[in-house]
Amino acid sequence: MDHLTKEQRHKNMAANKGKGTKLELLFGKLLWNAGVRYRKNDTSVFGKPDFVIKGHKIAIFCDGEFWHGRNWEIRKNDHKSNCDFWHSKIERNIERDKEVNTTLQKQGWKVFRFWETDITKEPDKCLNRILNYMNTDNKTSEKIAITKMCGGNKVVMQMYGPHSLNED
């Protein structure tokens, strides 16, 4: 049985944000600091991705493990109350994510989906996947570089994001 009243549960659920989450703010800063310009929650793109890089037709989703069902087959029995509701809700979210991916790919978009823990624990890895794609994308010859001012000169620190250069 739920230890919260119906009103308390409603208040908690209403507080869950659909956009502008801490996770999205973190990832947005990563993209911005890497020189990537994007649009947030663009309603003109199917599925309203968290980030859209229109010039490269890239759609990026930052998925929370709970809401999008990471390791669902293992975790689906973790719910102690209202199991039928949660099972159908999260399974529908998983199905919707697949539908969005398929539709966007058919429209020529490259879809990136990152789990919350991947963004928080390995942000460079997530960023590098996007930057690598952008650098090999035939739509532009532009290279993305992270730069830093050093003694009045702009110095290229890394071509594909933090911690990605191989030392020779």
Please report, for the chain, the start and end positions of each structural domain, with discontinuous segments joined by +: 6-140
User: What percent of the chain clears pLDDT 90, i.e. is strictly above it?
Assistant: 47
The DSSP call for residue 5 is: -
For residues 159 and 142, the answer to whether their CB atoms sit within 8 Å is: no
Mean pLDDT of 19-23: 80
Residue 163: left if φ>0, alpha if ψ -120 to 50, beta else—which one?
Answer: left
Q: Which amino acid is at 76?
A: K
> Which of 129, 143, 117 is CA-nearest to residue 26?
117
pLDDT bracket for residue 69 (50, 70, 90): confident
pLDDT of residue 12: 55
- The residue that leads in pLDDT, 95 or 154, is 95
pLDDT of residue 71: 78
Beta strands in 42-133 (DSSP E): 51-53, 58-63, 110-115
pLDDT digits (tens, 9 = 90+) for 72-99: 777 766 766 777 787 788 889 899 999 9
pTM above 0.85, yes or no: no
Considering the four listed CATH numbers 3.40.960.10, 3.40.50.720, 3.50.50.100, 1.10.10.60, the one that applies to the domain covering 6-140 is 3.40.960.10
Residue 29: left if φ>0, alpha if ψ -120 to 50, beta else—which one?
Answer: alpha
The DSSP call for residue 69 is: T
Q: Which range among 7-11, 65-69, 128-132 has the greatest average pLDDT?
A: 128-132
Mean pLDDT of all residues belonging to the chain: 78
